[in-house]
Amino acid sequence: MENVFMRVHEHWLLIAQEDLASAKLLSHTPLMTALFHIQQCAEKALKAYVVLKKGSVIRTHDLVRLIDICIEVNKEFETLRLFAAVLTPYETAGRYPTSDFIRLSIKEIEEITAQSEFIFNFVMHRINKT
C-alpha cells in the first residue's frame, strides 16, 4: 500500500513524473498535447523544489519566475534559465488558437521533451542531495 501521507514536494514530483511519462509517450507523434505535458513536467518539478525549500509556492506557470525563486536557494538553477524560457509558452501553446502558433515536428517535440526531462533530473538530483 502506498504512503498516503506523502510530503507535498513528493506529490509534486510524482505528478511531474507522470507528465514526463505522458510527454514521452506523445513525443513520438505530432500531437500538440505533448507540449502541455512537457511544460507541466518542468513546472511541477520546480514547484517541488520550491515547496521543499520554502514551504509553499506561488501559483504561476512561468518557469523563468520559478527558476528565479529556486536561484534564491541555489544559484546552480541559473543553468536552467534558457530551458525554462523555451518551455514556458507550451503551457498554452497548442491548447488555445493564436496567430503565432507554429506546429512542431516530431523531432522538435522530442528535443523539448529532453529539455523538460533535464530540468526534472536536475531538480531530483538537488532534492536527493538534501
Summarize pLDDT for 24-40 with one digit per residue, the tens: 888 777 677 888 899 99
Which CATH number fits the domain that encloses residue 94? Answer: 1.20.120.330
For residue 115, give its domain range: 8-129
2 located within any domain: no
Low-confidence ranges of the chain (pLDDT < 70): 1-6, 30, 93-97
pLDDT at 34 (0 to 100): 85
Question: What whole-number distance in Å separates Cα of residue 6 and Cα of residue 22?
Answer: 22
User: What is the C-alpha separation between 92 and 105, in angstroms, rounded?
Assistant: 17
Size (the chain), residues: 130
Q: Is 113 within a domain?
A: yes
Q: How far, in Å, CA of 38 to CA of 102, rounded?
A: 16
Please tell me the distance from the alpha carbon of residue 57 to that of residue 126, in angstroms, as a whole number: 17
pTM of the model: 0.87
Q: How far separated are the first and last CA of the chain, in Å rounded?
A: 26
The helix/strand/coil state of 126 is helix
pLDDT (0 to 100) of residue 1: 40
Q: How many domains does the chain have?
A: 1
Q: Does any domain span residue 106?
A: yes
